[in-house]
A = this chain, B = another copy of it.
Amino acid sequence: MRENAIRKLWAEGKPALIGWLGIPSSVSAELMAREGWDCICLDMQHGAIDYADALPMLQAISTTDATPMIRLEGSDPARIGKLLDAGAYGVICPMINTAAEAAAFLRACHYGPKGNRSIGPLRAALYAGADYVKHANETILALPMIETREALANLEEILSVPGLEAIYVGPSDLAASMGYSSGFDPEFPEVYEAILHIAARCRHHGVVAGIHVGSVDYGQRMIAAGYRLLAYRSDFRLLQWISSRALAAMRRGAPDPAVP
């Protein structure tokens, strides 16, 4: 079975960098994958991507070595199985608040006896190889999101769920849940402390921690704090930023954003 490049980076202690996709197009997906991100994640929660878009996007990503991931809009086991059958090597699941939810999510991502995923890979076996069913459980990554005050309160129990290998922090929802304004890279002390705390507890439990960031500076701090899976904005947000600056530059002679 084709290996999961993220696991290899983690084994070497290196962070894996995610190219994050919200635009439902296999063209922008292939463009992003070609840039060399370690993995590419289709955001099916806040991105505009549904299954019918995700399938060709996963194929487009598979023209490169980038590991294909999805962030689902929920935790429906049927939908998780369907996206894994389409070839995703990692699943990020939002709003996991308890150990029971985390355990149910892990079961949905794995074949028996570890889980209860139904057997029948289709595209997954084309992408990964004929021995997919045999090795899927040790290849697929299942990442519950820690993004609420409730999840924080249940952190020890969640991190103790047998088989849990990694989690993913959603700082914007976490800040909002803690009573602060949402947005990238929260600096509110209570939230920032919580984010560092999560990394520390993950290290203690032997669980890899990932996080979504909105700037390189914040990202570097998170790597220093121990995070090993990082997404930086998204294709949508990057295009929005550069387009806005390019227009301003053309309109008013401001510095060209694409000529450093």
Residues of A within 8 A of B (CB): 17, 19, 22-28, 30-32, 34-37, 44-48, 50-53, 55-56, 59-60, 62-63, 72-79, 81-82, 85-86, 94-95, 111-113, 116, 118-123, 126-127, 133, 147, 170, 172-173, 176-177, 179, 182, 215-217, 219-220, 230, 232-233, 235-236, 238-247, 249-251, 253-260
Contacts and interface: CB of A to CB of B under 8 A. Distances in A.
B259 A246 contact: no
A60 B56 contact: yes
B116 A95 contact: yes
Given A73-B79, A74-B79, 18 more contacts: A24-B25, A24-B55, A26-B59, A27-B122, A35-B240, A44-B82, A48-B55, A48-B85, A48-B123, A72-B78, A73-B78, A76-B76, A113-B179, A118-B173, A215-B256, A238-B258, A242-B242, A257-B257
A186 B35 CA distance: 26
A120 B250 contact: no
Contact of A259 (B25, B123, B217): B217
A86 to B, nearest CB: 6
Contacts of A73: 78-79, 81-82
Q: How many copies does the complex hold?
A: 6
A55 to B, nearest CB: 6
A77 to B, nearest CB: 7
B74 A48 contact: no
A25 to B, nearest CB: 4
